[in-house]
Amino acid sequence: MLLLAGCSGGVLDPKGQIGAEESKILVNAFGTMLIIVAPTILGALVCAWWFRASNRKARYLPDWVFSGRLELVNWGYPLLIIIFLSGLIWVGSHRLDPFRPIASANEPLEVQVVSLDWKWLFIYPEQSVATVNALVLPVEVPVHFSLTSATVMNSFFVPQLGGMIATMPGMVTQLHLKADHIGDLWGLSTQFSGDGFAGMGFSVRVKSKEDFASWVDEARKSACDLDRAGYAALQPESRNVRAFAFRSVAPSLFSEIVRGELSLQKASESAGPVVPCPEAMR
């Protein structure tokens, strides 16, 4: 426990509303289970000490086989704990439904997420910019994520914001998160997807609203466009891709990815000669 006390950046160090609620459920469930676990471990140690061979005071009962009162304790208390935990988790999981919007005075930010081999594509449809392996969010603004996969199934997870959720080809899952603190976080895929899975992480930068607007302006100065040709250059397998931005996004690109109209072969055929974005090759 002393060694683990130095850990940070995980689910027990939340930086957002959903992460804080999920962390609270974990801590409450852990504390509730200790009501059974701690006495059981202590009782095992006490029994081993009391019934040692050298203790002449311990009663030796070779014919004893059953105690109704002991059975009531053995089964009754764990059953009560299980019922309590079931209610705790049932209420918490429905309250933190990933499809449920977060109440806020601020308008939610729309972010479309595409998992690729082995990188993450983040599209900001309202700002018409996109990034690879870098998620930039304004502080205290709810974010509505629409997530899909262009390859195999993956899982999107930002531990300090909460809400791990699957990305699946041909489907759109939804997630609502909100970051409450300015700073740098990290995200990752939690489902194995091949040789480059270990490097399939991304940075998460939470900025003030003013700095977020400045970042959007800076992203629009990129040399890359996320049209069909840009997406075709992005699709092939790659590892440990350095983060970069696209200055513009084709309006219907995400919908075409979901419908499977931009598979690797189809995208290459429809886009013509593919010229990779120079920033993507760094």
pLDDT in tens, 67-99: 899 899 889 988 999 999 898 888 888 888 899
- Does the pLDDT at position 280 exceed 70? no
What integer pLDDT is reported at residue 229 of this predicted model?
87
Q: Is the per-residue pLDDT at 265 higher than 80?
A: no
Q: Is the pTM of this model over 0.85?
A: no
The number of residues in the chain equals: 282
Q: What is the mean pLDDT of residues 252-274?
A: 70
Q: Are residues 226 and 203 in the same domain?
A: yes
Q: Is the pLDDT of residue 215 over 90?
A: yes
Question: Are 271 and 191 contained in the same domain?
Answer: yes
Answer yes or no: do 195 and 146 share one domain.
yes
Let me know if residue 5 belongs to a domain.
no
Q: Which residues contact 63 (CB under 8 A, 6 or more apart)?
A: none
The dihedral over CA atoms of 182, 184, 189, 190, expressed in degrees to the nearest 10, equals -80
Express each pLDDT in 13-36 by its tens digit.
899 999 999 888 888 888 988 988
Q: Do both 32 and 170 map to the same domain?
A: no
Residue 58 lies in a domain: no
Cα distance between residue 46 and residue 61, in whole Å: 18
47 & 120 share domain: no
Q: What is the pLDDT of residues 116-171, one digit of tens each?
A: 999 999 999 999 999 999 999 999 999 999 999 999 999 999 999 988 999 999 99
Do 172 and 250 sit in the same domain of this protein?
yes
We report the CATH number of the domain holding residue 264 as 2.60.40.420
Residue ranges making up the domain that contains 228: 109-281
Distance CA 164, CA 7 (A): 20
Residue 273 has pLDDT above 80, yes or no: no
Position 102 in a domain: no
Structure tokens at 143: 């974010």
